[in-house]
Structure 1
Amino acid sequence: MTEPQQRLLLVHAHPDDETIGTGATMAKYLAEGRGVTLVTCTAGEMGEILVPELEHLAADREDRLGEHRKGEIADAMAALATPDGRMIDHRWLGGFGTYRDSGMQWHPDGYAIPADTLHDNAFWKADLTQAADHLVAIVREVRPQVLVTYDQFGNYGHPDHIQAHRVAMYAAQLAAVPSYRKDLGEAWDITKIYWLAMSEGRMREGLRAVRAAGDTTAFEGLDPEGPLPMTTPDEDLAAAVDATAYADQKMAAMRAYPTQITVDGPFFALSNNLGNQVWGTEHFRIAKGTLGPVGPDGLETDLFAGL
Structure 2
Amino acid sequence: MTQQLRLLAVHAHPDDESSKGSATMAKYVAEGHPVMVATCTGGERGDILNPRLQNDPEIKRDLSEVRRREMAAAQEVLGIEHTWLGFVDSGLPEGDPLPPLPAGCFALEPLDVTTEALVRVIREFRPHVMTTYDENGGYPHPDHIMCHDVSLAAFRAAGDPDAFPHAGAPWQPLKLYYDRGFSREKLAAMHEGLMERGKESPFAEWLSRWDERGPVRVTTRIECSDYFGHRERALLAHATQIDPDGSFFALSAQEQAQLWPTEEFELALSYVTAPEGEDDLFAGLGSVAEADNLAINPPSLAIDELRERTVA
- Do they superpose with TM above 0.5? yes
Deviation at 1:204, TM superposition (A): 1.2
- CA distance in structure 2 between the aligned counterparts of 1:280 and 1:44, rounded to whole angstroms: 30
1:140 to 107, 123, 127: 123
The equivalences for 1:44-123 within 5 A come to 44-49=43-48, 50-55=50-55, 62=61, 64-81=62-79, 88-93=80-85, 98-105=86-93, 116-123=99-106
- CA distance in structure 1 between the aligned counterparts of 2:107 and 2:231, rounded to whole angstroms: 28
- CA distance in structure 2 between the aligned counterparts of 1:3 and 1:230, rounded to whole angstroms: 40
Check whether the contact 2:53–2:240 (CA below 8 A) recurs between aligned residues.
Answer: no
The answer to whether 1:158 aligns with 2:136 is no
- Unaligned ranges ≥5, structure 1: 82-87, 109-113
Check whether the contact 1:102–1:115 (CA below 8 A) recurs between aligned residues.
Answer: no
What is the one-letter code of the residue matched to 1:42? T
Which residue does the alignment assign to 1:187? 170
Which residue does the alignment assign to 2:293? none
- What does the per-residue CA deviation read over 1:262-300, in whole Å, with 9 as the maximum and x for residues that have no partner? 121101004469333567521001111145334xxxx21
The answer to whether 1:302 aligns with 2:277 is no
Deviation at 1:163, TM superposition (A): 0.4
Alpha carbons of structure 1 residues 230 and 211: separation in structure 2 relative to 1, 3 Å: farther
Check whether the contact 1:270–1:278 (CA below 8 A) recurs between aligned residues.
Answer: no
Deviation at 1:227, TM superposition (A): 2.6
Alpha carbons of structure 1 residues 229 and 39: separation in structure 2 relative to 1, 3 Å: farther
* SS of structure 2 residue aligned to 1:222: helix
* SS of structure 2 residue aligned to 1:138: helix
Check whether the contact 2:201–2:250 (CA below 8 A) recurs between aligned residues.
Answer: no
Deviation at 1:176, TM superposition (A): 1.6
The answer to whether 1:267 aligns with 2:267 is no
What is the one-letter code of the residue matched to 1:92? W
Which structure has more helix as a fraction of its residues?
A: 2
Check whether the contact 1:46–1:103 (CA below 8 A) recurs between aligned residues.
Answer: yes
The equivalences for 1:12-31 within 5 A come to 12-31=11-30
- CA distance in structure 1 between the aligned counterparts of 2:27 and 2:207, rounded to whole angstroms: 32
1:199 to 183, 193, 203: 183
Alpha carbons of structure 1 residues 119 and 157: separation in structure 2 relative to 1, 3 Å: same
* SS of structure 2 residue aligned to 1:92: strand
TM-score by length of 1: 0.83
TM-score by length of 2: 0.82
Alpha carbons of structure 1 residues 46 and 145: separation in structure 2 relative to 1, 3 Å: same
Which residue does the alignment assign to 1:39? 38
* SS of structure 2 residue aligned to 1:210: helix
- CA distance in structure 1 between the aligned counterparts of 2:198 and 2:67, rounded to whole angstroms: 33
Which residue does the alignment assign to 2:298? none
Which residue does the alignment assign to 2:299? none
**Percent identity of paired positions between Structure 1 and Structure 2:** 37
- What does the per-residue CA deviation read over 1:121-156, in whole Å, with 9 as the maximum and x for residues that have no partner? 211111110010001111111111101000000011
- CA distance in structure 2 between the aligned counterparts of 1:34 and 1:58, rounded to whole angstroms: 37
Which residue does the alignment assign to 2:222? 241
2:112 to 129, 153, 161: 129
Check whether the contact 1:222–1:228 (CA below 8 A) recurs between aligned residues.
Answer: no
Q: CA RMSD in A?
A: 2.6
* SS of structure 1 residue aligned to 2:37: strand
- What does the per-residue CA deviation read over 1:179-235, in whole Å, with 9 as the maximum and x for residues that have no partner? 2222111111111100001232111111222344454462462236x63556853xx
What is the one-letter code of the residue matched to 1:26? M
Check whether the contact 1:155–1:230 (CA below 8 A) recurs between aligned residues.
Answer: no
What is the one-letter code of the residue matched to 2:190? G
Alpha carbons of structure 1 residues 272 and 264: separation in structure 2 relative to 1, 3 Å: farther
- What does the per-residue CA deviation read over 1:28-81, in whole Å, with 9 as the maximum and x for residues that have no partner? 11111111111001121222212444545699x64x212111111111111112
